[in-house]
Amino acid sequence: MGKNKQIILWKCIIACFLVMASMAVCAQNVQRIEFCDKKYEYGVGNDQITLFFRVIDGDRKRNQEMSAEELQNYLVIKEDGNIIPLSDCKIEALKSGQRIPADYTFSVLVDKSISQEGKERIFEAVGHLVESAPDGCVYLSFFGDEVTNSVPVNAESYKAMKEEMMKPAANKYFYGAIYAKLAEFNTASAEMENLVKQQTGYQKNSDIAKRAQLHKDKNILFVFTDSRVRPQDESIGFIEVTDFQNDRNHLMPKVYALYYTGNGEDENVKAILQGISQVRDSTGTVVAERSGAYKPSDNMSTVMTEFEQAVKDAMYDYAFTYKATPGKIYHGHVAYQAEWKGTNVGEGDYSIGTAENPWPSHEETGSDTVMKYIIAVLVALLTMAFFFLIMKVLIPWVKSKSFNAKYYKKYVPEANVNRRICHFCKQDIQPGQLVVVKCRHIMHVPCWKANGYKCAEYGQNCKEGIQDHIEWKSLFSAASLRDCYQTFAGILAGLFSWVIFELTGRGLFRGLAEIIVNAGFTNDEQRSNLFGDCVNKTAAFLSIGLLLGFFLSLIFRYFDEYRNKNWKIYLKIFGLSLLSALIGMLAFALGAYIFCVLLSAVNTTYIPWYCSLPAYLLFSICLSLSLTIKSTIPMKSALLGGLCSAVIGFVVLYFSSISGSKYGWMSMLLDFIIYGGGLGASLVTVRMLAEKFFLAIQNGIKANQRIPIHKWMKVGNKVSIGMTGECEIQMNWEKSNKVAKEHVQLYVDTAKQLPMIKALAPGVFYNSRFELVVGKAAVLSNGDTFTVGDTIFKYEEN
């Protein structure tokens, strides 16, 4: 190796070392990464997530000077514990025009007497501020011949302000304008407000004070002025303005005074601008947290740079943008972790997507869509099978086993009894043989089973000797399936609702949702981060309420209707279902409001699962109650059934989203069908357990129909049976003209506490033996029958 080459090599090594050393020095400086905000958008093709953050260096100072490359070299961000690959991410140092936190309030006050060309440039610069700030952060006003109102501006409405701004002014009412704008940050009215030369109809914008209260350190007043026109003599002067500022009771924005001195410098103006931008206490020391800056320049470009720097101070410093993890469906809470050279330097929790509307969505081809609906139908069928297994196999099996444990006993000879005879085979029962001791009619276990798992006397002298068991042979019979019809109906209604939910973009009524969120969401700190998710969730809520309310009501009411259905009855079912839809939607609207209030109160950076729970419970309770209107369902059954199914549906929704199916729509489908099926099943179960009184029709086209009359069989209440719609049971299926308008009454006697029957017209045959005397009551016992017209009713008690 030649000497020259050696020198070059050494030079290279030293250079490399120096570069590495300098990088190491910079790199060591990061102490903390502060996550500030996140950004992502719903919709097809949007699968980029941006995290905004700031870098805090070793001296605990905000470091805005670090280059994106430096950060890229050492910063690792983990999403839910998994490293986001370098190839999928991009780090940017933010420039103005990119992102300002929503907690800031900017009041921009512009001097109309500035030259037209100057105002053009100010207008443009303020435009950048407006574009990078979330809506509602920036207020614009002018002064000159008079002080104008502070108008909230966004990227759209801002343009309309230009005409007003470009109007020239002959005067400059300067001190009053500043005084008025400072006063606007306070709710209480300022002493000298009335002395300000205001535009006609001037109004203090009360929103500014409201916002300012929430983040007292994030309020800024920008004042643009020059010296082309001299200030007028005013009753408010320098002393009045600074006195107002110095008062500790007043909330003060930081003032940035941007003074273009190209047209000469006015000492008065300079003094007051210096005075108000540097607030001093009684000893003359500058109060840093209340002070902005005085920035004079005879170069308009410098003035603009100063302005942009002040805006930049309020901004997030860096953005970390990455491609959403392929195949991952975001359903809500995502935890981020920042590592600097392997050390944990910061954490952030954000919500991405919601359980109701997972993110990202992708373009579906026609075959994808077909596949989706086929899978959905299969899932619905599987859910039906699942419910069927639970209701027809699992529950009877558990009941049967517990019955065995309780009532199958080895026979022990009793004192004073010398022989026991089996009530079925009439043989002696020997000590040690297995017997069933459910009722007093003791039987051998094999005899008990041979008799169909019941006592030989059951139905005549015995009311309790029966065991639940699985009838394998008749498991798939029509009768067995019929027991599950309400559950299947609920699942079908859930499936229909879900299909429409999908087809309508998972959430209609976005406008209404925004109004609700605006009313309930009071936490401005969360606003820029969570507002969009809340609107999305609320829109989904409203749709769910409407759809499930309508379809579940439609299908349950259809099956609850024991009468012959004519167009009037169909119309009634339809109308009442619309009512349920409205109630469901209102319940979810209120639920969404509660959700927003709750979310504002817990003050998290993401949406915790429990914030949504009240909305689902409220919806379910209201929907179940709406189902009791003009139906046979009693309130208690509805409430219990509704609560059970709401909890089941909610658990399914949130747990299936945690488990992370690759089909984003799956959790919502499961929620819809399991909620529907659960509501059907729990209504049936609760009724079976809690309700006592039924009328079973024995003959004719309505044979096997069981009408629950529990709702009306209460003391002081009655069930009337007859031809008119006034009756609780309207016999519109009777073709004979033997039925009166109101023919029979059933009720519970107050004194005897017994169910009674009273004929109101002749021809009521009691237990097919004798005719009831009109107007005279008779006791009604379990199993009694009576005829009205040609229909035989059997009274049943559970």
Residues at the contact surface with Zn ion, assessed by CB under 5 A: 422, 424-425, 439, 441, 444, 447, 455, 457, 462, 465
Residue 671 contacts by C-beta under 8 Å, 6 or more apart in sequence?
Answer: 649, 650, 652, 653, 656
Q: What is the Cα–Cα distance from 708 to 332, expressed in whole angstroms?
A: 43
**SS3 at position 305:** helix
Nearest approach, Cβ of 425 to Zn ion (angstroms)?
Answer: 3
Q: How many CA atoms lie within 13 A of 519 on its CB side?
A: 13
For residue 697, list its beta bridge partners: 793
CB of 84 or CB of 447, closer to Zn ion = 447
CB of 444 or CB of 537, closer to Zn ion = 444
Q: What is the Cα–Cα distance from 208 to 185, expressed in whole angstroms?
A: 6
Sequence letter at residue 32: R
Please name the residue ranges forming H helices in 215-299.
238-246, 267-277
CB of 26 or CB of 462, closer to Zn ion = 462
CB of 168 or CB of 446, closer to Zn ion = 446
Which of 524, 438, 552, 417 is closest to 103 using CA atoms?
A: 524
> In this structure, are strands 75-79 and 770-771 parallel, antiparallel, or unpaired?
unpaired
> What dihedral do alpha carbons 326, 329, 335, 340 form, nearest 10°?
0
Residue 496 contacts by C-beta under 8 Å, 6 or more apart in sequence?
Answer: 547, 551
CB of 428 or CB of 471, closer to Zn ion = 428
The DSSP H or E segment spanning 579 is: helix 567-602
Residue 314, phi then psi, degrees to nearest 5: -90, -5
Nearest approach, Cβ of 694 to Zn ion (angstroms)?
Answer: 23
Full strand arrangement of the beta sheet holding 254-260: 151-152, 138-143, 105-111, 219-226, 254-260, 293-297
Full strand arrangement of the beta sheet holding 408-410: 408-410, 434-436, 443-444
Helices 524-560 and 613-627: crossing angle in degrees, nearest 10, is 20
Nearest approach, Cβ of 482 to Zn ion (angstroms)?
Answer: 28
Nearest approach, Cβ of 437 to Zn ion (angstroms)?
Answer: 10
Nearest approach, Cβ of 397 to Zn ion (angstroms)?
Answer: 23
CB of 420 or CB of 557, closer to Zn ion = 420
Residue 367 contacts by C-beta under 8 Å, 6 or more apart in sequence?
Answer: none
Cα–Cα–Cα angle for 390, 391, 396, rounded to 5 degrees: 95
CB of 131 or CB of 457, closer to Zn ion = 457
Instruction: Identify the sign of the CA torsion 734, 738, 739, 741.
Output: positive
CB of 441 or CB of 743, closer to Zn ion = 441
Residue 458 contacts by C-beta under 8 Å, 6 or more apart in sequence?
Answer: 465, 466
Full strand arrangement of the beta sheet holding 343-352: 82-83, 75-79, 332-340, 343-352
Q: What is the Cα–Cα distance from 625 to 610, expressed in whole angstroms?
A: 23
- Cβ pair 156, 185 in contact under 8 A: no
Sequence letter at residue 661: S
Nearest approach, Cβ of 423 to Zn ion (angstroms)?
Answer: 7
> What dihedral do alpha carbons 465, 467, 472, 473 form, nearest 10°?
10
CB of 345 or CB of 447, closer to Zn ion = 447
CB of 447 or CB of 653, closer to Zn ion = 447
- Cβ pair 701, 733 in contact under 8 A: yes
Residue in the structure block whose two tokens are 């997530």? 49
Nearest approach, Cβ of 411 to Zn ion (angstroms)?
Answer: 11
CB of 439 or CB of 598, closer to Zn ion = 439
- Cβ pair 735, 701 in contact under 8 A: no
CB of 445 or CB of 578, closer to Zn ion = 445
Nearest approach, Cβ of 696 to Zn ion (angstroms)?
Answer: 23
CB of 467 or CB of 553, closer to Zn ion = 467
Which of 4, 54, 9 is closest to 31 using CA atoms?
A: 54
Nearest approach, Cβ of 658 to Zn ion (angstroms)?
Answer: 51
Nearest approach, Cβ of 460 to Zn ion (angstroms)?
Answer: 9
* Rg of the chain (C-alpha set): 39
CB of 462 or CB of 515, closer to Zn ion = 462
What are the distances in angstroms from CA 105 to CA 129, 311, 444, 613? 11, 11, 86, 34
CB of 436 or CB of 648, closer to Zn ion = 436
CB of 125 or CB of 422, closer to Zn ion = 422
CB of 22 or CB of 798, closer to Zn ion = 798
Q: Is the peptide bond before 101 cis (omega within 30 degrees of 0)?
A: no
Which of 392, 334, 278 is closest to 80 using CA atoms?
A: 334
Nearest approach, Cβ of 441 to Zn ion (angstroms)?
Answer: 4
CB of 462 or CB of 690, closer to Zn ion = 462
Nearest approach, Cβ of 426 to Zn ion (angstroms)?
Answer: 7
Nearest approach, Cβ of 461 to Zn ion (angstroms)?
Answer: 7
The DSSP H or E segment spanning 94 is: none
End-to-end CA distance of the chain: 105
Nearest approach, Cβ of 378 to Zn ion (angstroms)?
Answer: 46
Q: What is the Cα–Cα distance from 164 to 199, expressed in whole angstroms?
A: 12
